Structures are given as C-alpha cells and as structure tokens.
Amino acid sequence: MSQVTILDVSLRDGSHAVRHAFTEAQVRAAAKGLNAAGVRYFEVSHGDGLGGSSLQYGLSATDELKLIEAAASECTNSDVSVLLIPGIGTKQDLQNAVTAGAKMVRVATHVTEADVAAQHIQLGRELGLKTVGFLMMAHMAPVEKVVEQAKLFESYGAEVVYVTDSAGAMLPQDVTVRVEALRDALTCDIGFHAHNNLSMAMANTVAAVQAGATFIDGSMRALGAGAGNTQTEVMVSVLEKYGYATGIDLYKLLDVATDVIAPIMQQPQEITAGSLVLGHAGVYSSFLLHAQKAAQQFGVDERDILMTLGNMKAVGGQEDLIYEVAQQLQRA
C-alpha cells in the first residue's frame, strides 16, 4: 500500500475564510485533535503566510507567533508547518516561528519566480526544518516552465516541491501532466495543493496522487480561501478506498472537523458565484473577500472585478489592483 502524507491547512488557508480571526483556544483545540488523529503536518499562520498581518492582506486578531506556539504545545505526533512568501515574510519571521515551535516551512512564490526564494529555502534547511518549495498559481505557466522553476527549488535545498492550484482553475489532466513532469525531472518528493472553485479539488487530488504526488494538502470542512480546499476528512476516506495509506484515524479527524472547525466557520464552504468565477478566470483564491468588499464599496458586480483581474493575469500580492479595478468599473 503506497503512503501519502497529508498536510492540513485549515489553520492557515482557513484564516482567509474567517478573516484572520483565529483565537489561541481555537487553534489549540484544532491542533490537539489533528495530533490525536495522526495528521503528520498541519499549517498555522496568517492566510498569506508569516508577516501577512497588514492592512493590505488583512490584520490578524491574534499574533501568529502565539498561534504557532499554542499549536506546537499540543503536538506529540504532529509537526507545525508555516507558510512564507518572500516579500511578505522575512528570514527573521521564520526564525521567530521556529522559536515558537514550527518544524516545517513552505516557501511560496509565483510559479515563475522561484529564484526569489533561494535564501529562505537555504535558511529553512540550516534551521533543521522540513523545507518545501510551493509554486503558486501553477496553472499560469506551461509545463516546461513549471519544471524549470521546480528544479530551482530543488537546487536550493527543497525536500518537497508543490504544484499549487491557487486559483482552483485546473482540471485533472492539467494536474496530471504537471505532477508527472516533476516526478520525471526531480529527485525530491512532489506535493499538490487544490482549491475547489470549479468543484475539481477532490478529482484533482486523486489525479495528483495517481501521477506520483506523495504530499497532499487538505482542510477540514474545506475551510479555506475561495470555495475552500480539498476536504481533509473526505480526502482521507477517498484515498484509503483507492488503496493509499494515510496513517490517519478517520473517526478522530471527523471529531475535530465536527466539534472544533465547524463551529468556527462563519458560513459553510460552498461554490458561490464569486468563487466559481475565481476558478473560471484563474484568479488567486484569497482575492474573493477583497473583491466582495470592493464591489460593495463601489457598487459594482464582484464577478466583473474578478473577470477583469483574470484578464489582467493578476497574481497574489496585487490586492491593491482589486480596488483600482472596482473604481474603474464604477466610472465605466
């Protein structure tokens, strides 16, 4: 039976969905449940990674270092991961996260910009962390470019390289061709991160595993940006039915999803008009709430904002464009 490592992102990607308002008590309870269920890694930080708490990306209700420390204190089987986007998070932020208890770092860049991550990948290895390269918006580059950038991550010391469908824009064949290409080109492990904006997250996850990915992301109750991620508890069940070993106790995972995560959610995760357009236009999933806010402020349709951003090929880090586009649509 092939082994798949599940990484739960409810306490990081889910931060977008709850407007970065996690409390220490909520994080501690979720961490305790994930640890008991045998989830090997789970991620804790602002939705946009270390240092993301800002006016541009959204202010955190609780200092993320306190959340990391609370989560790490509950871990006996699991390890805490953090996300770091160079230009948002710094090397000092990573060192502080390690002091708080982080054991893994995932250094995330746009799919064509892996070269900005060399120093952060190298620092992760020096600090003794499980160190991962995270190629965001992977639908925006041809396969050859994805392979080129993945090779850069591996050359810097990444132990895992992720194909990341940040917009939830991929179809299973898009996932398969990218994962297979990385599997053929790299010696490190391959990971996959999905969003469900086109209702493809589970199908894409299965495609990734069948193509050779061994690290897979999910979030409990699908709590995440846009329409959310592959639902962790469902994914565990599906992968085990396919014959893959996850090492996770499904009943205990269901308990934490039901008793801890569900009460935190401001609304059930579903594919709304806005999240569907995210996937259709290929727009970064965390843009959804910003687009909704801008649409209300300027009296325009959030779908028009997102479609315009898609045509502009906007990427993460360009949140200021959302409000510019909304203002331009109002004038038009």
Overall average pLDDT of the 99-116 stretch: 98
Residue 325 shares a structural domain with residue 244:
no
DSSP state of 146: H
Confidence (pLDDT) at 55: 85
Residue 86 shares a structural domain with residue 54:
yes
Asked if pLDDT for residue 277 goes beyond 80, the answer is yes
120 catalytic per annotation: no
One of 16, 20, 120, 139 is an active-site residue; which one? 16
Please check whether residue 275 lies inside any domain of the structure: no
Per the annotation, does 166 bind a ligand? yes
For residue 86, the domain's CATH number is 3.20.20.70
Per the annotation, does 13 bind a ligand? yes
Cβ atoms within 10 A of the Cβ of 241, count? Answer: 8
Q: How many residues does the chain have?
A: 332
Per the annotation, does 255 bind a ligand? no
Bridge partners for 8 per DSSP: 42, 218
Confidence (pLDDT) at 136: 98
Confidence (pLDDT) at 318: 85
d(CA 209, CA 100): 32
Averaged pLDDT of the chain: 96
Looking at per-residue pLDDT, the higher value among 320 and 82 belongs to: 82
For residue 292, the domain's CATH number is 1.10.8.60
Residue 315 confidence class, pLDDT cut points 50, 70, 90: confident
The helix (H) or strand (E) run that includes residue 325 is helix 320-331
Residue 290 shares a structural domain with residue 260:
no
Cβ atoms within 10 A of the Cβ of 126, count? Answer: 10
Residue 250 shares a structural domain with residue 176:
yes
User: In sequence order, what DSSP letters do the residues of 236-283 get, joined into one string?
Assistant: HHHHHHTT-B----HHHHHHHIIIIIHHH-SS-----HHHHHHHHHT-
Residue 298 shares a structural domain with residue 257:
no
Please check whether residue 257 lies inside any domain of the structure: yes
Per the annotation, does 244 bind a ligand? no
At residue 195, what are phi and psi to the nearest 5 degrees? -125, 155
Residue 42 shares a structural domain with residue 81:
yes
Overall average pLDDT of the 85-114 stretch: 98
What is the value of pTM for the model shown? 0.95
- What percent of the chain is predicted at pLDDT more than 70? 100
Residue 181 shares a structural domain with residue 301:
no
SS3 content of the chain, % helix, strand, coil (to 5): 50, 15, 35
Range of the domain at 308: 286-331
d(CA 165, CA 198): 11
Please check whether residue 269 lies inside any domain of the structure: no
Asked if pLDDT for residue 127 goes beyond 80, the answer is yes
d(CA 258, CA 37): 13
Per the annotation, does 2 bind a ligand? no
Residue 294 shares a structural domain with residue 244:
no
Nearest to 11 by CA among 20, 3, 131, 108: 20
Per the annotation, does 285 bind a ligand? no
Residue 54 shares a structural domain with residue 146:
yes
Question: How many domains does the structure of the chain reveal?
Answer: 2
- Tokens describing residue 313: 């090929």
Overall average pLDDT of the 13-27 stretch: 96
Overall average pLDDT of the 170-176 stretch: 98
- Quick check: 303 and 277 in contact, CB under 8 A? yes
Contacts of 54 (CB under 8 A, 6+ apart): none
Overall average pLDDT of the 266-272 stretch: 92
Please check whether residue 274 lies inside any domain of the structure: no
Residue 60 shares a structural domain with residue 144:
yes
Residue 64 confidence class, pLDDT cut points 50, 70, 90: very high
The helix (H) or strand (E) run that includes residue 103 is strand 102-110
Please check whether residue 280 lies inside any domain of the structure: no
Please check whether residue 252 lies inside any domain of the structure: yes
